[in-house]
Amino acid sequence: MTGQIIATYGAALSLLIGAGFITVGVIGLLKFNDPMTRLHAPTKVGTIGIGMLLLASLLHSFAIGESSMHELLIMAFLFVTAPVSANFIAKVNIHRRACLPPPEPSHDETWSTLDSPEGDPEIASAKGSEA
């Protein structure tokens, strides 16, 4: 087997895996009813599904003898920006109270919650000393 045939089989396998993840992500987006659970399905599609499609494109371009690095740049951009945008969408849903609030922390009242820092005596005394 030549490298071109192996790359073609690899591209076909990557296309199948990517299409499978995209299909599952679309079904999850349609079936889930809560905004936070809906957010989970497209983030997996964005990273794994589209990443596999881009890998298939990269393998195909190398199989036909052309080098293309655009796919690597797109993958790098996608893998850097997708988690950040998902985090922002989740925070907006939490602050709009469109979903269940995060669980109460065990030790600190203001850590990672929507409580105001006025309830924390250490923060209130620090603000009082700054004024």
pLDDT tens series, the chain, 131 aa = 788 889 899 999 999 999 999 898 888 888 888 777 777 777 777 788 888 999 999 988 888 888 778 888 988 888 888 888 888 888 888 788 777 776 666 665 555 555 555 555 665 565 555 55
Asked if residue 110 and residue 61 are part of one domain, the reply reads no
Domain range enclosing 93 = 3-100
Tell me how many domains the chain contains. Answer: 2
Angstrom distance (rounded) from CA 100 to CA 94: 7
Asked if residue 95 and residue 130 are part of one domain, the reply reads no
pTM: 0.65
CB 18 within 8 A of CB 52: yes
Asked if residue 121 and residue 76 are part of one domain, the reply reads no
Q: Which parts of the chain are beta strand (E)? A: none
